[in-house]
Amino acid sequence: MTYFRNNSVTPGRHLFAALVLLNLALSSAQARAAPYRPTSDAAVLATVPVGTRVATIRPRDLQSALTQAAADVESARTTGDPRYLGYAQSALGPWWAAKDAPLPVVLIRAQIHQHNHLFEAALVDLDHALTLDPRNAQARLTRAAIYQVQGNYAAAATDCRSLALLVEPLITVDCMSRVSSLRGEASHAYRKLLLVRDRAGSMEPRQRKEIELTLADISTRLGDVDAARQHYAVALSAAGADAYTLLTFADFLLEQREYGEVIALFERYPEYADLLLRAALAARAMNTPNASALAQKIREQYAAHQRRGDFVPTRDYARFLLDIEGKASAALDAALINWRSQREPADALIAVRAAIAAGRPAAASPVATFVRERGLEDVRLSALLVPLRLPAPAPSSEPPSQHGLPRAPAPTPFAHPAQSGLLQARAPAPSRHPAQYGQMQLEPRP
């Protein structure tokens, strides 16, 4: 049985969907604007990647539709290309909106919503799936991922614990380790997962990758750079490349100021579009001749999405505004909007960085409070928060609270002006939680 650790993608990511108003006048004008119409037949609206599949599904053929939709969701996971999510939804067309859709359709529909960061819609489907089948491990694992992204660690832990009677121990421990590492038990979670991994011996390559990525994430937050590097090396060699692994490793390299390695990664995997931002940041830091060209390419990609009307303020968009465009206030607004629905350590980092750069450190108070109350351990956050005299993450041996967050609020319209006009954000970069909740080939326990 396949369990989808999915994840941002986020193509993405993660990672879509919160629409929020930053500039009332501009967003109102955008709302009144006429649909975009090409002025010439030669205008290029989109570039279709080589190898794009052609649908061959017979209408009303449920099994073929499920097979194709599952393959498309997997393609979205590995490539970070959000178009595959549209293909998957199209494949499920006759059943997509059905309230009485079969369980397999409900599960894939939830994964698509999750990839698009439509968390509430995904949770509705997952709740329904578990009503139909309370022992469905896929639904439990996916729901745990969403709760974790939302910062609802108590609910995530409950779903992780429920896996104990459904799947092999390694999956349950991995799930629990990710959650407990965010609740003041990072060192303990790391040691426990490491021990279980070593006792397990051989395992399926994709499963090995997922375990190593969890260990890399925890060790990075604990400040053990050497251990994190080793875990990333094993993850990258364990199975084929995928969007989430490449992006998180590129971010790790950026933090270590290994800019040349970031550019080399981008050149090796040019098909992963979300590596472009990382390459542009590295090129800017190195002041390479192509730094301006890379930044302009990102700018043009955002501008192209202006016409889609489905803007998503992600942490990558906030990074673009802060580190490429130098628009600290706009970056802070975008980061705080993103924080309303997505509360991973990386989301906290960009919010605090933007608050400092904008000269508005108090704006990071909600993030600091969240970090303190949950005992979130992250040396990067501590380094930023302590000088501000805002509540900093304090390591704790026990979770500070047994109460999770309420579900995230509904999306709100968002718009923001940029240098070349009103820029529309592209699909979020992949995110393991929720967008890359990786795949593990495992048989559930009877």
Task: For residue range 329-360, list pLDDT tens digits in order.
Answer: 999 999 999 999 999 999 999 999 999 999 99
CA distance 211 to 204: 11
Mean pLDDT, rounded, of the chain: 80
Task: For residue range 215-247, list pLDDT tens digits in order.
Answer: 999 999 999 999 999 999 999 999 888 999 999
**Which helix (DSSP H) or strand (DSSP E) does residue 5 occupy?**
strand 2-5
Where does the pLDDT of residue 6 fall: very low under 50, low under 70, confident under 90, or very high at 90 and above? very low
Q: What is the pLDDT of residue 389?
A: 76
Of all residues in the chain, the percent with pLDDT exceeding 70 is 72
Tokens at 222, concatenated = 């604990």
Q: What is the pLDDT of residue 274?
A: 86
Neighbours of 46 (CB within 10 A): 7
Closest CA to 142 of 411, 128, 194: 128
Q: Do 356 and 381 meet the contact criterion of CB atoms below 8 Å apart?
A: no
Q: What is the pLDDT of residue 386?
A: 86
- CA of 405: how far to CAs of 147, 353, 430, in Å? 9, 24, 23
Q: Could you give phi then psi for residue 418, rounded to 5 degrees?
A: -130, -175
Where does the pLDDT of residue 94 fall: very low under 50, low under 70, confident under 90, or very high at 90 and above? confident
CA distance 112 to 76: 9
Of all residues in the chain, the percent with pLDDT exceeding 90 is 63
**Which helix (DSSP H) or strand (DSSP E) does residue 422 occupy?**
strand 421-422
Task: Domains for the chain: give ranges and CATH numbers.
Answer: 2-33+54-441 (1.25.40.10)
Is pLDDT above 50 for 16? Answer: no
Could you tell me the pTM of the whole model?
0.78
